[in-house]
Structure 1
Amino acid sequence: MLIPTYPIPPSRHYQQTVQTLPRLDGRTIAITGCTSGTGQVMAQTCGARGARIVMLNRPSARAEEALAALEEAGIDAVLVPCDLQRFASVRDAAEALAQVCPEGLDVLCNNAGVMGLPDQATADGCDVQMQTNHLSHFLLTSLVWPLLEAAAEARGEARVVNHSSGARRGPRLQAAYLGANGGNLGGDGFPGLGKWRRYQQSKLANLLFTYALHDRMAAARPGRGIKSLCAHPGPTNSGLQAKTANAGGTRLLDQLILWRTLRVAQSVEDGALGILRAGFDPEAQSGAFYGPIGRGKPGPAQLLPPERDPASEQMLWEMSLSTTGVTDFFEHQTVSRKSA
């Protein structure tokens, strides 16, 4: 497939917004999926403002190159291998984080994502998009919770930042997408809507996880100083479009969806402003959602109204616990290795 090329406009909001954010000296920020796109911008921005960066990426030459680029810029950075398509790798990464973050973790940015992939199962039996985009982030957040609590106790607060998308809009969340049903969800025949419905469900899960976590930690861990926030980038050429095409996005529907994004896409720096505001805006409150206003329009990251769905949030929480094997999200739980 030939992806249409459009000139990416210069960043219009990035510098102005970043100047409002505080210095981050003494803070440790962990970011999934930061070899390119919005995650890379966040790593570079936070590192330049004094933070220590923990890069959570699949082992690859690209990951090593991204680490080298941060180090060459004088940024304190470390690479922790983490393959979000394998729960065992997420558990290993959490153990490594406990070693490299002895003073706690100030921000966990669950940024990584895949888009528009065929109906495939991971090694754990889950849909490849749902596990990468939500389930493994749910598991990772639970496993590093003691590090977030340590940072909040030492420095006043810590944050979990989830990255959703404008694609979250659509049908309510369905339990089938959260279970070990990868490869059996269908919809890859003509016109090929299934891959986009699975993506929509995973991005909706990111937002509902934010709300569910906010409510449950307020009840289970009152006063611990941890905030749960979410953002979406608006239409942004982050590199996901090319990966979708390379993974077989050749149908007319795929081309139309990618074209609609790319023709109005803003710079990747502007697309990263949502997670930056959610992560570091001094005024940000737990449960907040940031991103461009409007449906499929670029723009500065602003505080958005809540999009609550209590029944779906409850179902997501219960299904995510079951599928990942987590028994108690907020404690040093025994995590089942049945799918490791």
Structure 2
Amino acid sequence: MNIDSRLADRPVFVTGADGFVGSHLTERLLEAGADVHVFVRATSSGELKNIRHRAGDLTVHRGDLRDQHSVRQALSALEGTDDAIVFHLAAQAHVGESWDRPYETVDTNVVGTLNLLQSIVDLDLDIAKFDTAGTSEEYGNVNAEMVDNHEFEEDGRVILSERSPVNPTSVYATSKLAADFLTMNYHDAYDVPTVTTRMFNNYGPRQNPRYITGTIITQALERDIVELGNLQPKRDMCFVEDGVRGHLHVALEGTPGEQYVYGYGENISMRDWTNLILDVGAEEGYWERPEIVQADDRYRPGDSDVEELLVGYEKLNRETGWEPQVDWREGVRRSIDWYANNKDAWYGRVDWR
């Protein structure tokens, strides 16, 4: 697929554009020559943190997803177009913090999505695609009563696809599942050309250092121990560049009303992921190998941790040709390099000092 030719001069609207995945997507859209509109939360401490260097190439709309007036004002910029794509990536996206900030999580992730969809209907916008970014966390753990509805590898690992049952185990996962269903509701009721994309555990440069990959790297760069919680869960780790390509493939080739899931297609325990990161960093000369320490206060509440996640991305591959291109060692190397050379971008945000 020639992505650049499909996006050149095309109006695109990105929520969460100054966040982790959103900033990488925004840069890729600019690289393709799209007419990029970004919706960012206006705060007293400023915004555009990850895309400030491209501010002159963007149309910036400031507001808050929870405020319908600002959402509608921003989306009105798409009036008169018929090929615009909306990428909805804004969210309170930290699983642990969803327990500390449950009302903000639901307000932002559910009401915020509703405000976008309803504004498109109220403004009678004729858009080409509306992509809501979901999460692999929506699947949760396998419910014993639903086990016959799951697909399994020969080694017993559950494969999660668009057909798999969902079982959210956190406020974050439940809020994202609600946003997914709202997105589908507006396709069924108002024929809004919506799709939902469940990405599996993106990682890479610019990610908040409170997430697993960032906290491992930043601790290793700064001290002799790496303090973590539960290291048994397995995750399907997908480099952000591949995640962005997934969004673009779905937006350009996906079928309205459909769900698409994607990731690396292999999973790894968080203990092995930690060791991989520490090994690569030591080989590259970023640190002497730190000690791994597990701390009770870094575990998720109760039984809310998801045991394993592994994606089956055959549908997206079959319909659009997407497949991951960055292997784990290369993705980890590029991630470490960014954290090592951009300390000012993350040092004030860590949760381990």
Partner of 2:229: 255
Q: Which residue of 1 aligns with 2:7?
A: 24
- Within 5 Å, give how 1:1-340 maps onto structure 2: 19-20=2-3, 22-60=5-43, 63-71=47-55, 75=57, 77-84=58-65, 87-88=66-67, 90-98=68-76, 100-104=77-81, 106-113=84-91, 114-116=93-95, 117-119=97-99, 127-145=103-121, 147=123, 149-152=124-127, 158-170=128-140, 197-218=170-191, 226-237=192-203, 242-243=209-210, 255-256=229-230, 260-261=234-235, 265-281=237-253, 284-292=254-262, 296-297=309-310, 302-303=315-316
SS in 2 for 1:203: helix
Q: 1:233 to 1:108 in 2, by over 3 A?
A: same
Distance in 1 between residues matched to 2:196 and 2:10, nearest whole Å: 20
Provide the TM-score with structure 1 as the length reference.
0.57
Separation in 2, partners of 1:129, 1:151: 29
Q: Partners of 2:203 and 2:188 in 1: how far apart?
A: 33
Which amino acid in 1 is paired with 2:121? W
**2-structure distance, mates of 1:202, 1:118:** 9
CA drift at 1:144:
3.0
Question: For the Cα contact (< 8 Å) 2:48–2:55, is it kept in 1?
Answer: no
Structure with higher Rg: it is 2
Equivalent pair of 1:27/1:51 in contact (CA under 8 Å): yes
Structure 2: 5+ residue stretches without partners:
143-167, 213-227, 266-307, 319-353
SS for the counterpart of 2:229 is helix
Q: How many residues align?
A: 232
Q: State the Cα distance separating 1:241 from its structure 2 match.
A: 5.9
Mapped to 2, the partners of 1:135 and 1:303 lie a distance apart of 28
- Structure 2 Cα separation of the partners of residues 257 and 205 of structure 1: 29
Higher relative contact order (CA 8 A, sep 6+): 1
Please give the alpha-carbon distance, in whole angstroms, between the structure 2 residues aligned to 1:209 and 1:171: 23
Query: 2:12, 2:35 within 8 Å by CA — same for their partners in 1?
Result: yes
Letter in 2 for 1:255: G
The structure carrying a bigger strand percent of its residues is 2
Residues 205-245 of structure 1, C-alpha deviations (whole Å, 9 max, x = no match): 23222322221124xxxxxxx41101122121266663468
AA partner of residue 94 (structure 1): R
**Residue segments in structure 1 that go unaligned for 5+ positions in a row:** 1-16, 153-157, 173-194, 219-225, 246-253, 306-340
SS of the residue corresponding to residue 296 of structure 1 reads coil
TM-fit CA distance, 1:198 = 0.8
| 1:145 partner amino acid | V
How far the C-alpha of 1:20 sits from its partner, in A, is 4.8
**Aligned CA distance change for structure 1 residues 297 and 25 (closer, same or farther; 3 Å):** same
SS in 2 for 1:79: strand
Alignment TM-score, normalising by the size of structure 2: 0.55
Deviations 1:68-124 (A, max 9, x none): 32246xx4x11111323xx33x422322432x3343471222111222225456xxx
Match of 2:25, SS state, is: helix
Which amino acid letter does the alignment assign opposite residue 115 of structure 1?
A: H
Query: Contact 1:273–1:300 (CA<8 Å) still a contact in 2?
Result: no
Aligned to 2:48, the other structure's residue is in SS state helix
Structure 1 residues 231-290: Cα deviation after superposition (integer angstroms, max 9, x where no partner): 122121266663468xxxxxxxx83379744xx523111122332222222xx2111222
On the 8 A contact 1:33/1:39 being kept in 2, the answer is yes
1:28-86 Cα deviation digits (max 9, x unpaired): 211111113221122112222222111111125663344432246xx4x11111323xx
8 Å Cα contact 2:71/2:119 also seen in 1: no
CA 215–241 in structure 1, closer or farther in 2 if over 3 Å, else same: same
CA deviation after TM superposition for structure 1 residue 204, in Å: 1.5
1:146 offset after TM fit, Å? Answer: 5.0
